[in-house]
């Protein structure tokens, strides 16, 4: 039985006081059956880690570099995240794959980050997802398969226990358009099949796959009741304590 996992990706939101307030309000969520991970902006990571310490709620970074130290202005290493109280790192979010003209993150760089982060002892949530143009061209499975194979290349079977996949269709992020539960389940089952072919069926059955894209309290239960949906990665709705708590409650 896979343990459900709900992530709150705060993206570039909050200030120190509101971050601490929200994290404190979410402390009770750490004592349930579902794993809860908060991804605040880097500058508030330590404050949030302090606010949830001892509650069972985990904290993660929204990204990290593939090197431990060096002349990489503006970057943060996996070692720094760990040092600041993070257990998790979010990697390959579509906003990082797509934005930043000219240097959108490639799956090969994401693979280097993932390999390094796991080596440091962080757990990782790896995001994959297709754009609307790719879905309409019937390329969803090709895109997901390619992102998974490249991003996960060379990860040993033993380390896969520390990897969670987040399926986030790009067209559903922040748009209010959620994939139907059937559409999401189809993609999750496909992803589990790819994992099975990359390693084996045992690892495929053990790996947790979250859905992300306009998840709210009102649609969480139906999405989370699908066989291959093991949790949610929540953006906008994770900024409200009541809304996020209701999503966690809906997790199986």
If one asks whether residue 235 binds ligand 13P (CB under 6 A), the answer comes out as yes
List 93, 130, 134, 185, catalytic entry: 93
If one asks whether residue 119 binds ligand 13P (CB under 6 A), the answer comes out as no
Distances in whole angstroms, Cα of residue 159 to Cα of each of 66, 122, 155, 164, 238: 17, 10, 7, 11, 28
Report the residue number, 29 or 234, with the smaller CB distance to ligand 13P: 234
If one asks whether residue 213 binds ligand 13P (CB under 6 A), the answer comes out as yes
Report the residue number, 63 or 115, with the smaller CB distance to ligand 13P: 63
Count of residues touching ligand 13P (by CB under 6 A): 14
Taking the complex as a whole, the smallest distance from the CB of residue 157 to ligand 13P amounts, in Å, to 27
Residue with tokens 């966690």: 248
If one asks whether residue 48 binds ligand 13P (CB under 6 A), the answer comes out as no
If one asks whether residue 60 binds ligand 13P (CB under 6 A), the answer comes out as no
By the 8 A CB rule, do 226 and 181 touch?
yes
If one asks whether residue 234 binds ligand 13P (CB under 6 A), the answer comes out as yes
Interacting span for ligand 13P (CB under 6 A) from 21-29, 45-53, 74-82, 206-214: 206-214
Closest CA to 140 of 178, 190, 91, 106: 190
The yes-or-no answer on residue 93 being catalytic is: yes
Residue 130 makes CB contacts below 8 A (sequence gap 6+) with 139, 140, 143, 144, 169, 170, 171
Q: What is the DSSP string of 72-98?
A: -TT---HHHHHHTT-SEEEE--HHHHH
Residues in contact with ligand 13P by CB under 6 A are 9, 93, 168, 173-174, 212-215, 233-237
């Amino acid at each position: 039985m896979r343990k459900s996992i709900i992530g709150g990706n705060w993206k570039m939101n909050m200030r120190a006081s509101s971050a601490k307030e929200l994290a404190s309000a979410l402390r009770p969520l750490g004592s349930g059956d579902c794993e809860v991970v908060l991804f605040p902006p880097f500058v508030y990571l330590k404050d949030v880690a302090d606010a949830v310490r001892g509650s069972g709620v985990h904290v993660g970074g929204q990204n990290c570099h593939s090197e431990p130290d060096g002349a990489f202005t503006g970057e943060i290493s996996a070692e720094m995240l760990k040092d600041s109280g993070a257990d998790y790192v979010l990697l390959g979010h579509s906003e990082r794959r797509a934005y930043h003209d000219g240097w959108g993150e490639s799956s090969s760089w994401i693979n280097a980050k993932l390999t390094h982060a796991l080596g440091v002892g962080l757990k990782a949530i790896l995001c994959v997802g297709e754009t609307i143009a790719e879905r309409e061209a019937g390329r969803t499975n090709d895109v997901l398969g390619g992102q998974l194979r490249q991003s996960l290349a060379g990860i040993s079977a033993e380390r896969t226990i520390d990897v969670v996949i987040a399926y986030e269709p790009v067209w559903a992020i922040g748009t209010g358009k959620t994939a139907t539960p059937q559409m999401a389940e189809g993609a999750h089952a496909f992803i589990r099949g790819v994992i099975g072919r990359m390693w084996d069926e045992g690892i495929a059955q053990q790996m947790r796959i979250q859905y992300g894209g306009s998840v709210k309290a009102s649609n969480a239960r139906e999405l989370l009741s699908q066989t291959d949906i093991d949790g949610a990665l929540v953006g906008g709705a994770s900024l409200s304590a009541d809304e996020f708590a209701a999503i966690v409650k809906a997790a199986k």
